[in-house]
Each structure stands twice: as C-alpha cells, then as structure tokens.
Structure 1
Amino acid sequence: MRQLLTKLEQASGLDRTGDRLQETVRSVLRPRGLRDLLHGVWLGHPLHPALVQLPVGAWLSAAVLDLLPGNRRSATVLVAVGTAGALPAALSGANDWAELTTEQRRVGLVHAIANGIGTTLFVGSLAARLAGRHRAGRTLGFLGLAAAGGGAYLGGHLAYKQGAQVNQAAPDLHRMSEGWRPVIDVASLPHEKLVSRTVDDVALVVYRDGDDVSVLLDRCPHQSGPLSEGDLVRVDGHACVVCPWHGSTFQLDDGAVVHGPAGTDQQVLPTRVVDGVLETRLP
C-alpha cells in the first residue's frame, strides 16, 4: 500500500487532468467570500473535515441498519441524509484541493474520484430503495461504502502523510524552549513594518503599532510561506499580513485568519519588555 501511494504521489500523468480541473474549480468558486466560507475561515478550522462527518456517519449507520432486520425505512432515510450531505462536503474539498501542491493534488484527485464513485453508488442505492428494490439498494450501499472508505483512506494520507490543510506552523512551537526569550531591542523596532527574527531556530515575525507589539510565528499555516516577506494591509481597521505565496491573510494583533486558503489562525506569542528588550515565550 505504501508503494502504491508513493507511485500515486509521483503519477505526473494525472497533472494534465488535475491542472484543468484546478482552473475550473477556481473559476466556479471565484468569489473570495465563497472561497473563505468553504475554507472554514469563519470557523477558524478547515471546514471540509467537519462536513465529511455527515455523509460518512450517515452511510456507515445505514450499512449497520441494513445488517439488521426491520430497518428498511430508517436505513433509507440515512442514505438520503448522507447523499445530501455529500455535496457541501465535496464543494469544500474541491476548494481546498485547488490550493494544494502538485503531489497533494494527485492524491486528492483520486480521493475525489473514489468519493464520487461512492456518492454515485449511494444515489443508485437511494433510488432502488425508494422503488422498493431494497436488496439492490443494500448491495449498492455496501459498494458505495467501500468506495467512500477508500476515498477516506486517501484523505487520511493527504492530511497525515502529505500535510494537506494541516497547520504547517504548529510544529515550530515544539522547537522553542520554555521561558522568556529575548527577541529585539524595542528602540530598534520600526513602526508599522514587518521584522523577521529567530528564536531557537524558530522564525518569528514582529510588528509594532505604536506601543503595541505583536510576535507571530513566521511560517504561514497553509504551506509555510514566509509572512515576514508579505504585504501589510488593513482589513476592517486591523493591520494584517498577506502571505506572499498563496494570499492567506492574518490579523497581526491576534493572528485571526481573515482570508484563506488557510483555515486556521496564526499563532501569536506572549510578549513583555524587560530593560528595553522585547521578550517572548511559548503560549
């Protein structure tokens, strides 16, 4: 299985289809507000993993009921609920997929195909059940669950092996030692400019706005872009930094994500000033 997944990651033959599909997804989901909604910006957490719980849970529950007598109606309702929930889950997944790296998109494409097959089988299962052909409905449901299970396996590979939509900055917190650490002399810190500093080999970005100073992890949680090289903008009165790689936008005072593709906030570190020196520590 590991060898197959490695070959899938390296399957450049998928790129022609993937590149065209990426352009289509970006064209269809063009409004930024819609993209942010589907990325989970409003939630502070990627939306796709939350939405997939509905179809997977409903379909799995329907399969359990199909193994027990006297549950045809309940199983049919669960298949219908799961099938309806597959659409928003697919939209959010496609939105995230369009912002992944090439190797991630290859696995994600097959992940989507497997889930598409599973959903189609469940549509057929629902139609068969409503027509009174419950044996055929159960068979199609079990096949659909198998396909969706394969898709879920690939989704786990995307997240846990390839790091898709996982907060890329979070591991930096484990590399900093405990206690307060010096960062920079406050007197040398310019106003309303991004300054890059390193503490325990962890890259940080420092921003001063009057007497307020913020220290954030420098690596963008989406794909590790250097925020210290990003642009400064103001959104709803808040000073924000725009990642130079993919455009994720974060408030500098509290790290809140304003625009995706990042779906999580950026980590802000506590600060204090001792003898004119700005210090920071782990949260």
Structure 2
Amino acid sequence: MRTALMNKLEQASALDPVGDKLQPKVWALLRPQRVKDALHGVWLGHPLHPALVQVPMGAWISSAVLDLLPGRRMPGQEQAATTLVAVGTASALPAALTGLNDWSWLWQEERRVGLVHAAANTLAVAVYAGSLAARLRGRHQLGRTLGLLGLAAVSAGGYLGAHLVYKQTAQVNQGAPDMHRVEYGWRRVAEVDSLPQSQLLTRRVDEVPVVVYRDGAEITVMLDRCAHQSGPLGQGTMIQVDGRACVVCPWHGSTFQLKDGKVVHGPASTDQQVLPVRVVDGVLEARLP
C-alpha cells in the first residue's frame, strides 16, 4: 500500500504548477552562486541538508522523550523540554533553506515528492511553534500534546525524505555506481598520440564512458556521468576558474576541475571521480583507485 501511494505521489502532475512556479523563485532568492554552493554543501564535500536536519530532529525527539517520561515531573524537566523545542524550531530554518536549494535542481518526479516533504515539515514547524508558545505560557500539557503532533508530522516528512534519497536517488552521487562496472587492474583507454591538447574527449573504460583531458604531459581520465544528475560531462563546456581548467555540466551547470575532479560549483556537492592513469608503450591506461 505504501509503495502504491508513493508511486501515485511521484506521478501527481497536479503538483507541477506549484513546483514550476516555485523553482525559478528559489533560484532568484538564493543568490549569488556562492550562496547556492554553500547551501548545497560544496565546501563540505556532500549535501549539507541531511547534516543540518539532525539538529531539529534530535532536539524534537529529545523533547518527546522528556514529555513521555512516566511519573511526576522532575525539577527542570519542563524547562529542558521547552528549551529543546525552541532549539529544534529555530534550527529548522537553515535546514529548510538547504533543502529548498537542493529541491530546486531536482527532476520533476522528485520535486513532486519534495513538495509534500516540505509541506509536512512546514506543518511540523508550525505545530512546534505552537507547542513552544504554549510551554512559555505555562500550558505544558497543551505544549506536550502539540509536540507529539509535531513529531508525527516531521516523521512523515522524514519518510518522504528517505524516499527521495533511497528510492529516487535525489542528491546522491549519480556517477559513483559506474565504478562498480570497471574491472580491477589497468584498462586500456586510448593511444596517447590520438589525444589532442586541451580538448574534452569521451572514451570508454570497459563499458563505462569517461572524459579524457590532456594538458601537456598530464592526462586526466574522469567519469563522464555527472555526480549530480548523470549529465554527460563530455558534452560540457570548458571554462577557467581561478586559472584552473574546469568542465561545466551541460544539464545543470555543476562545475568540476579537470585536474582532480574537485567540485567548484553546485548543484553537485561531491567531487567527480578521477581514475589513476599511466602510459605504457604509448597507450593510456586507467584503473580503479
């Protein structure tokens, strides 16, 4: 039943008008590029949203534990629960901003689930805000009741978030699975003399497409499928960023250094995998790290 419901949600095209209007507004709001990159987690090396979510979730769950303890209220218990609810409610804003930024670069089916995920979490924040207000006024029983309702809402949002990641692979490194399709040991890539200088070429290591880039005596072999949404980097454009040659994904603009695959700009937040290389008798070879 849950699977059927989630499948229907993925195909709920009635959500598209909302998502289509919201997406460009998010792009316009979260400017400039360095803000987007910071919220994507480029500086961290993986998406920032899952890390920040732990703060409100941990605080709210901890407050629920205190609220559900049996017996008489211990000294300071109500104050501790109130503080935890306040911490969770305040920390939900940065977590929401990172999630909104990531959501704006997802595929349509993912954005549909993401909208409901965001709606559930927004409801949770509103209910927890009500719980906090009730506790501050001394109405702790009402605050506890609202807290449990808020926990139910955020748990539903968490279920949808897990579906986005584990079923729909949102913000998961899309290129990494290609590593499992390459045999161990050195694999032939191309004749070195066939590689032009400072141009992107697409070749294959076994059955896996890779981007080959030659800069003088240095040669890079990088997975072709973009870590963000599998865009073909071999069809991307080359730019210079701080004097370093980079490739820009033709689909969503993720930017990677050609020398080492380091991510420079999002929406990708993880580096692009580069393979170790060697030249033997004029033949370029690559292998798994």
Global fold match (TM > 0.5): yes
Answering whether residue 227 of structure 2 is matched by residue 221 of structure 1, we say: yes
Q: Distance in 1 between matches of 2:174 and 2:266?
A: 14
Q: Distance in 2 between matches of 1:100 and 1:55?
A: 24
Q: Distance in 2 between matches of 1:237 and 1:129?
A: 56
SS in 1 for 2:28: helix
Show the counterpart of 2:199: 193
Tell me the CA shift for residue 280 of structure 1.
0.4
Letter in 1 for 2:34: G
Show the counterpart of 1:18: 19
Deviations 1:9-66 (A, max 9, x none): 0000000111111122111113111111101111111111111010011101110111
Letter in 1 for 2:267: P
Q: Distance in 2 between matches of 1:22 and 1:239?
A: 30
Q: Distance in 2 between matches of 1:104 and 1:123?
A: 28
* Range that drifts further, 69-78 or 85-94: 69-78
Correspondence 1:114-129 to 2 at 5 A: 114-129=120-135
Show the counterpart of 2:274: 268
* Range that drifts further, 60-69 or 93-102: 60-69
**Which of 115, 137, 141 in structure 1 is aligned with 2:143?**
137
Deviations 1:48-107 (A, max 9, x none): 111101001110111011112321111111111111110000000000000000000000
Show the counterpart of 2:65: 64
Tell me the CA shift for residue 200 of structure 1.
1.7
SS in 2 for 1:241: strand
Letter in 2 for 1:169: G
* Range that drifts further, 129-138 or 67-76: 67-76
Q: Give TM-score, length-normalised by structure 2.
A: 0.97
Runs of 4+ in structure 1 off by over 2 angstroms are: none
**Structure 1: tracts of 5 or more residues without a match:** none
Show the counterpart of 2:244: 238
Deviations 1:224-247 (A, max 9, x none): 000011001111111100000000
Q: Distance in 2 between matches of 1:134 and 1:212?
A: 67
Answering whether residue 105 of structure 2 is matched by residue 111 of structure 1, we say: no
SS in 1 for 2:278: strand
Q: Distance in 1 between matches of 2:85 and 2:155?
A: 15
SS in 2 for 1:246: coil
Tell me the CA shift for residue 265 of structure 1.
0.6
* Range that drifts further, 43-52 or 65-74: 65-74
Q: Distance in 2 between matches of 1:188 and 1:20?
A: 48
SS in 2 for 1:52: helix
Q: Distance in 1 between matches of 2:162 and 2:273?
A: 24
Root mean square deviation of aligned Cα: 0.7
Q: Distance in 1 between matches of 2:14 and 2:193?
A: 55
Deviations 1:126-175 (A, max 9, x none): 11111111001111110001000000000000001001000000000011
Letter in 1 for 2:239: V
Answering whether residue 287 of structure 2 is matched by residue 281 of structure 1, we say: yes
Show the counterpart of 1:181: 187
Q: Percent identity?
A: 67
